[in-house]
Amino acid sequence: MSISRLVCGSLKFRFCVRSYSVSSEGEKSIKTKFGNLKDEDRIFTNLYGRHDWKLKGALSRGDWYKTKEILLKGEDWIVKEITKSGLRGRGGAGFPAGLKWSFMNKPHDGRPRYLVVNADEGEPGTCKDREIMRHDPHKLIEGCLIAGRAMGARAAYIYIRGEFYNESCILQMAIHEAYEAGLIGRNACGTGYDFDVFVHRGAGAYICGEETALLESIEGKQGKPRLKPPFPADVGLFGCPTTVTNVETVAVSPTICRRGGSWFASFGRERNHGTKLFCISGHVHTPCTVEEEMSIPLKELIERHGGGVIGGWDNLLAVIPGGSSTPVIPKQICNDVLMDFDALIEAKTGLGTAAVIVMNKQTDIVKAIARLSLFYKHESCGQCTPCREGCSWLNKMMWRFVDGNSVPEEVDMIWELSKQLEGHTICALAEAAAWPVQGLVRHFRPELEARMKKFETLRKNIQKIQKEKVLHVF
């Protein structure tokens, strides 16, 4: 996530371009095998902090290479390459990035335009943006410059999570280096384009990850989502046209522009192109954040990079594939599902932030989902009644399910309640609270009912013992 500048001629950097095989008729063959990304195809080359994150180290790894040439090609060319690449937003929604950036390319009306980078990474299980900011900050800064140029933006605001103190310090130092080198600021990279980058620290509110709540927070107001329309592209930060985008989405844009949109599109399935950072956590031998090809099978991702499930693959119970806001899926689905937007939607879940949370059979799956419902109850801003009241009731009912202190009819009741949260609020936090519960009911209803039956049997036994004690007294 860094904006950088280009060192013309002095930096030799080789790019390996991977493409589809072409059939005899000249048509592209359909790719069926995904994963096992080669090192030369990795965009984030310092993801684990093994090299220097400062400007000198970034230049040696190819950052800021030909940045001036990219900027001089103009906003239309940049948007065209991003569109050609098939890049979809990496923050969870998966909206086509090129299309989103093009919304800003309207006739100027005198108002400045802004790029806002959402680095308020607070989703449980997600830690990819943090790795970029502390180990590859110049990649983000260079991405801000190129994305800003594509939108005609005057400045970029990087809204970073308040708990990321060290990351914000590193990012601020990297921005200072970029200013000193003339890569950003007045006449950025010697192109005549003026562009500033600012870091704005949040205060730990998860709701500020929602784009309009984030804008409210930057403006010094309460972090509560705005009604849409108007959308940020029309009325955003300080009432000006604004695009809010994810750290990873911005950080990959310089490499796409250098290697070409067709190179990026050669990875993954149709409509699910590119490489992706996956965060693997939970019951695996080697939890990690890794860059892999989109559409890699979930099983291969866990076994190749996560070291496999603790206790073996047969000991797998379930996986949350895209961060805590996506529905859980059981082992039967995990055996074959691909890690991309469309495949996971077909499996009634989502890619989200690609935070893979693995749970083996030693997990109390009901309690795990109950803890997530507690998180969303705590983080609801309370502005919308369905979310404020619904999250509270979801949490109360889930903790009753943990003990089994409920009746089977309540399973249908909590399903209906979760459906009432969807689509009835200003932002998507209500959906984020509802979907984990829906995944639990969809795939683990027998576990819920068995727990209730066990509790009822225990209750009857206790009543019987108490009754016998009373009779014994008399």
Q: What are the residue ranges spanned by the domains of the chain?
A: 39-262, 270-360, 367-460
**What pLDDT, on the 0 to 100 scale, is given for residue 234?**
94
Superfamily designation of domain 39-262: NADH-ubiquinone oxidoreductase 51kDa subunit (3.40.50.11540)
Q: Are 18 and 43 in contact (CB under 8 A)?
A: no
Distance CA 96, CA 86 (A): 7
Please give the CATH topology (third level) of the domain spanning 270-360: Ubiquitin-like (UB roll) (3.10.20)
pLDDT tens by residue, the chain, 474 residues: 333 333 333 333 333 333 333 333 444 567 777 888 999 999 999 999 999 999 999 999 999 999 999 999 999 999 999 999 999 999 888 899 999 999 988 888 889 999 999 999 999 999 999 999 999 999 999 999 999 999 999 999 999 999 999 999 999 999 999 999 999 999 999 999 999 999 999 998 999 999 999 999 999 999 999 999 999 999 999 999 999 999 999 999 999 999 999 999 999 999 999 999 999 999 999 999 999 999 999 999 999 999 999 999 999 999 999 999 999 999 999 999 999 999 999 999 999 999 999 999 999 999 999 999 999 999 999 999 999 999 999 999 999 999 999 999 999 999 999 999 999 999 999 999 999 999 999 999 999 999 999 988 887 788 778 777 776 665
Instruction: Find, among 156, 259, 137, the residue nearest to 275 by Cα.
Output: 259
What's the full length of the chain, in residues? Answer: 474
Cα 296 to Cα 34, 376, 389, 408: the distances in Å are 5, 30, 39, 38
For residue 148, what are its two tokens?
């800003």
Is-cis flag, bond preceding 230, omega within 30? yes
For residue 307, what are its two tokens?
């070291």
Q: pLDDT tens for residues 11-60?
A: 333 333 333 333 334 445 677 778 889 999 999 999 999 999 999 999 99
Distance CA 449, CA 167 (A): 45
Architecture of domain 367-460: Up-down Bundle (1.20)
Sign of the C-alpha dihedral, residues 31, 62, 144, 77? negative
**What pLDDT, on the 0 to 100 scale, is given for residue 29?**
60
**What pLDDT, on the 0 to 100 scale, is given for residue 15?**
31
Give how far the C-alpha of residue 223 lies from the chain's centroid of Cα atoms, to the nearest Å: 20
Q: pLDDT tens for residues 385-418?
A: 999 999 999 999 999 999 999 999 999 999 999 9
**What pLDDT, on the 0 to 100 scale, is given for residue 474?**
59
For residue 219, what are its two tokens?
């403006």
